[in-house]
Amino acid sequence: MRVAMIGTGYVGLVSGACFADFGHDVTCVDKDEVKIARLREGHMPIYEPGLEALVARNVEAGRLSFATTYDGTVQSADAVFIAVGTPSRRGDGYADLSYVYAAAEEIAALLDGFTVVVTKSTVPVGTGDEIEAILRRLRPDAQFTVVSNPEFLREGTAVLDFLHPDRIVVGANTERAAEVMRRVYAPLTDGSYYAQPDALKGACSASRPAPLLITSAQSAELIKHASNAFLALKISFINAVANLAEVVDADIQDIAAGMGLDTRIGPRFLRAGLGYGGSCFPKDVAAFHWVAQQRGVDFQLLDEIRKINERQKDIFFNKVLSALWTLRGKRLAALGLAFKGDTDDIRESPAVALVQRLLASGALVTAYDPAAMERAREVLSPSGKMHYASSLYEAARDADAVLILTDWKEFANIDLVRLNQEVHFPIIIDGRNLYKPQFMHDHGFTYVSVGRPATYQAQQGKPRSLAL
């Protein structure tokens, strides 16, 4: 199959590389000439485990290429995927579809023969109809069908999620378009991809291939928003329970384990912490709520999900304040800036929002993140109060408290003896519940986490080093 992928962000680049790994001929298009030049040189614009090797393998095999114009790519494609950004509009939270519609307009001029135009971007229900109207208006003679094919990729595990999906959803209103999409995904749905010797191992296999669900385009668009809203609901629900658990000296991790053993609930997305962030959940919950309002549906639950998520950051900030009494002049080590581990994405990151608030309160912050510091510098510029460290131990040097803000594996395996030697006060405030309270107490730390009783040590500060 010949595939054109419009956009080289998280969705477009991962999808394009994976389609090429199936054996399809894929061209990824992006108007950012610098990004395309760097991709051609093998430099990844995002941090995503496994992606660099996947791209390199398929570029070398001649199945994956990059371009800055649609011309010459769209005409020959069996399927053209739109995978451009759909950021939230300021004020109302509705998805900004200007990039999607601009892509549709450019695609229209180049359609040649029957083509399936696929929305891979997350869009509100009804967007496919709008894209079709644009194409029909500009090219009434063209042969095409607009299809919805939502992505369900998690940053940090996007390659694995694409190649071993829980489900592949295709919203096609014609059988001809559905058949093209079956061919695009055939290596996953017939199991042939998993029989290859270099196939990435995961939940699917040749005997247990990926499931394909064919729906209407409107249903597929709703499936994406409804799925993300429900996952955000699970996160906000467990955070609300965590706040109650903390008041009554219960342990939210035990509660989540007990809930997760119920197969109707399941254990995933039941981790209490700072709340959700990133490019998907905040935007999709807001957009889903906007769509419901516009259609006259009272969906207040979505607003409560958002409110609980915002309160979680306030609650954690107050934990830091309570542990230190005042923040002005206090030295804090911030471990983690990305919204989650295994990504450099800081969009809507609770960690970044907290650091900004701590700085505004007069604290001195030294941050460390294994991947996200370069991006963080764009919004948290180095200054007299904001510093960056080359390791977590450097960040913790002379700190009055260490804050764990992102669930990187590195932060769950800290040398606690060394850490205790570096800090001024042995205080850890953990927004990701990476440790057991008793374990931290045994290692000499005052330990404050989310939804669990805090453990305290008698505080006696060590002499500060002269180095800043």
Q: Which residues are catalytic?
A: 280
What's the half-sphere exposure (Cβ side, CA atoms, 13 Å) at 447?
A: 21
Distance CA 234, CA 9 (A): 27
Are residues 162 and 153 in contact, defined by beta-carbon separation less than 8 angstroms? Answer: yes
Are residues 275 and 350 in contact, defined by beta-carbon separation less than 8 angstroms? Answer: yes
Render the burial of 315-325: b for 16+ CB within 10 Å, e for the rest. bbbebbeebbe
The answer to whether the Cα torsion of 361, 365, 369, 375 is positive or negative is positive
Alpha helices in 248-377 (DSSP H): 252-260, 281-294, 300-324, 350-360, 373-376
Q: Which residues contact 451 (CB under 8 A, 6 or more apart)?
A: 239, 241, 242, 243, 245, 246, 250, 251, 252, 253, 255, 272, 433
Tokens for 189, please give them.
């749905």
The one-letter amino acid code at 172 reads: A
Q: What angle do CA 334, 155, 62 make, to 5 degrees?
A: 130
Cβ neighbours of 140 (radius 10 Å) = 7
DSSP per residue over 387-455, as a string?
EE-SSHHHHHTT-SEEEE-S--GGGGS--HHHHHHH-SS-EEEESS--S-HHHHHHTT-EEE-SSS--B
